[in-house]
Structure 1
Amino acid sequence: MAGTRMFARASRARRSEEAHVMKLSFRLMLAALGACIASACSHLPELPQMPALHGPEATPGLAPRERVRLAVQLLDAGEEDRAEAELRAALEEQPGNGPASRLLEQITSDPRTLLGENARPYNVRAGETMSQLAERFLGDPLLFYALARYNGLDAPNQLAAGQSLMIPHRPGVAIASSPPPAAPTAPAAPALRGSVDSERANQLRLQGLQQLNSGNVDAAINLLRQAQALDSGNPAIQRDLDRALRLQAALASNPG
């Protein structure tokens, strides 16, 4: 019996020692694994920082009046983000710039809040533009972009004859039965026949665009109207004239 008890105690002692050795080995393995992971992580290359996302920046060196002029052109082509940058820069330099405020409001506000829910359908006629419709039905040619957004159009200059629009009703605006007549200009060159008319009209259009790009809006309008008189069905001439008239309206309402 005494031998049996001694054997049992020896077995328990051996099992306890084996368990202790196993625990110690397991701890050593965990420590080695942790050191390995730490060493591997220390050699990993640093991840590059993602650059901050910024919207378009305003064109440097422009006066507020020039920024408004550029913004009108950008909105006409549907480049809303760039136009917004120019308008915000104009207002930062000149907080009282009325055209910039009105144009920016058309970008940031719901067009139905600006123009109202009460609207009627209208089919666009050949030669009509968004600013002409805005002036005729809304009383303000600078509302061309709000009217385009009202109808889900990204670029006002893509208006086409036969297109169906919803025209909001603005209280106090008298709607003319036809577009207002053009202001009197210098007599146009006599119309010739055939391709000569189109060729001369294109020459006048190019001259008008040069004047417009140089900031001579009144001279550009005069040349473009002469071109239109020679080739009244040319949509490119009409679009350019419409753009020049919008610029004239914007600059006239804010001469500074």
Structure 2
Amino acid sequence: MIGLGIANEANDSRDLTLQSPVTAILAPGTFDHAKPGEFLKANHPVKAPVARETIAAPLEIMKYQVSVWEYARCVADGACKPADLRKVGDVPVTGVSHIDAEAYASWLSERTGETWRLPTDVEWAYAAGERFRGDIEANENDPKNPAQRWLGQYRAESSLGRAPDPEPRAQGAFGINSKGLADIAGNVWEWTSTCYVHTTIAGDDAETASAIDNCGVHAVEGFHRTYMSNFIRDGKSGGCAVGTPPDNLGFRLVHDRRGFLQDAVHRLGLT
């Protein structure tokens, strides 16, 4: 029997019954958000423009990242590939790519008869609340010396005091944020459904002259936002756009109650 609806936190079953994940439901709201991707003006990198974003409907998202035992159900069903980092216990699954996360979302949707999907960058940032940190930006930006900007980005991240933390910790180890989500911006960074975008800006009003989506690379959220190739399972193996690589790659999903067709329209940006 497959459990439907929101699971009770006290029901921590490990038997063959698939319980719906524990979720948090966020009220609609509006917030300012630095757009993801790379932005160029006059052929030189510039800071991402800030947009006023609106979450128009309640957002239901997993309270915790997908765990080792939850992911193992998908592997046992033959719908997911085993994770590279095979931990045990009540810890987030890590060593998974964007491809793996999408496979899990498809499996969970089929098993529950509901729609589960990766959050967009905007949705993740809204759910992260006070713990969200966008791309690392350097104060130095000499158009004639791009290396200065890259070094500045590394210095900016170093000043934030992030230390390597390679071992995934038990669920809840990083506490709960103001939106009711656990372990946001801990040592597990999370895949989103937002493609990396290369944008050229025209004029002084941040108007987009052209934009090229690269959906072989997706935004990853954690200690700060960065970008990884879809097939990467270990951030330390390469693919990070800037800064030191993510300690671990995992994910959490959005529970979309609008139904399959409405969700497809949403993903295409038609709503």
Please report the TM-score for the alignment, with normalisation by the length of structure 1.
0.30
Q: Which has the higher contact order (CA 8 A, sep 6+)?
A: 2
Q: Which has the higher strand share?
A: 2
TM-score for the superposition, normalised by structure 2: 0.29
Structure ID, larger Rg: 1
